[in-house]
Amino acid sequence: MDMPVRSLSGFSADELIPLLSPLPPYKCREVFKWISRGVRGFEDMTSLGKQEREDLTRRFVLRSTGRGKELADPDGTVKLQIRLHDAVSTEAVLLTDKEGRSTACISTQAGCPVGCVFCKTGSLGFRRNLEAGEMVEQFLHIREAGTRWGREVTHLVIMGMGEPLLNLGELRRAVGIITDPRGLGLSKRRITVSTSGIAGGIRELADLGPPLRLAFSLTSAREELRNALVPSGRTNPLPRIKEALGYYQEKTGRRITLEAVLLGGINTGAEEAAAFRAFARGLDAVVNLIPWNPVEGLGFRGRALREPAPAETEAFARLLEQGGLKVTRRFRRGRGVSGACGQLGSLD
Ligand code: SAH
Ligand code: SF4
């Protein structure tokens, strides 16, 4: 019988059982394990019989994505282009921090419908949602890149292209596969998802799990400015987002990160800092400041965007700290390969 060729990477261990029938369940679990080890063909699944491997090869593929260009920055960042089956591509990044910890950063969409004015991905428009398997495969591709560069991936951030909470169903499936101890087994505590602030999605994640670390890209706590910078804000007012964050915190007991891209001369003033502090009040939050990474051609209200001067960033950080907030600065990594925050999308 002719069957469609399907990639197995997006199926949970339990879903594989009916899918791979008549393969016995214990062997389905072996297949799940083999996929997590990164084998490239069924012929490498040496615990299966020859006939079984041939049968699976005829019916399925292990991956639907391919590795495209790979760019390495001298600072240790590696950016990968991931080619999807329908000729669309997305990007994933391997980041290494000062402590030598390696983090995979994956995308949830090709392009992004939110359209933040400071973000390269946002300027591309929206292509489509990624499927769970396409997210799992990004993680596998990054892990392989890590092996090539002598690094072991220990953390995952869902901060690549796209708005994760607008593709929450597939994201939850992917995270379920990546955290399954029978396979990749990454701890949920080591996974952070970043959102531009989709209040309904934050609540859904709180209710249905998994309890990931949550980062919210606040960027400006002055509603009018924020709505101009982050268009999804218009349908997700800040009070509603704050309520959802409070609910998330209540349900998960997790500290939240408030992120802010600092745009020189736009959102770094004293009034901005005061509004930011007011927003954070009542939340258990740390602040992560990200000096804007340049993207050519992006402007706001008729002026080109610019990076904040280092003193501007420091002054803003100090104003937040004086209000009792804990503030971290994001290391600027990956700029040499346009693999830093907000720069993804240049390889297409
Ligand atoms: N869509 C999600 C996650 C991907 S963007 C979100 O917006 O949160 C990841 C982070 O990069 C966000 O905090 C976003 O505000 C930030 N960012 C976007 N463009 C940037 C740029 N050019 N420079 C620095 N940070 C940027
Ligand atoms: Fe989308 Fe995030 Fe970029 Fe905004 S910052 S356009 S939400 S990827």
- Atom 4 of ligand 2 has which residue's CA nearest to it? 116
Proportion of the chain above pLDDT 90, given as a percent: 87
Cβ–ligand 1 contact at 259 (below 6 Å): yes
Write the CB contacts of 188 (distance below 8 Å, at least 6 apart in sequence).
175, 179, 210, 211, 212
- How confident is the model over 91-103, as a mean pLDDT? 89
Q: Which backbone phi and psi does 341 adopt, to 5 degrees? A: -50, 130
Question: Which residue in the block uniquely carries the two structure tokens 């596998």?
Answer: 140
Residues with CB under 6 A from ligand 2: 112, 114-116, 119, 121-122, 161-163, 196
The enclosing H or E element of 223 equals helix 223-229
Q: Which atom of ligand 1 is nearest to the CA of 162?
A: 1
Q: Which atom of ligand 2 is nearest to the CA of 113?
A: 1
How many Å lie between the centroid of ligand 2 and the Cα of residue 113? 8
- The string of pLDDT tens digits covering residues 194-240 is 999 999 999 999 999 999 999 999 999 999 999 999 999 889 999 99
Alpha carbons 108 and 161: distance in angstroms, whole number: 6
Ordered domains of the chain (ranges, CATH): 6-61 (1.10.150.530), 66-337 (3.20.20.70)
Three-state SS for 65? coil
DSSP state of 347: T
Three-state SS for 80? strand
- How confident is the model over 295-305, as a mean pLDDT? 95
- The string of pLDDT tens digits covering residues 127-156 is 999 999 999 999 999 999 999 999 999 999
pLDDT at 337: 75
Residue among 91, 163, 165, 194 to mutate when testing ligand 2 (max atoms within 8 A of CB) = 163
Alpha carbons 348 and 342: distance in angstroms, whole number: 15
| Residue 180: alpha-carbon gap to chain centroid | 18
Residues forming the active site: 91, 341
Q: Which backbone phi and psi does 196 adopt, to 5 degrees? A: -80, 0
How many Å lie between the centroid of ligand 2 and the Cα of residue 116? 5
Q: How many CB atoms lie within 10 A of CB 188?
A: 15
How many Å lie between the centroid of ligand 1 and the Cα of residue 178? 23
330 neighbors 289 (Cβ within 8 angstroms): yes
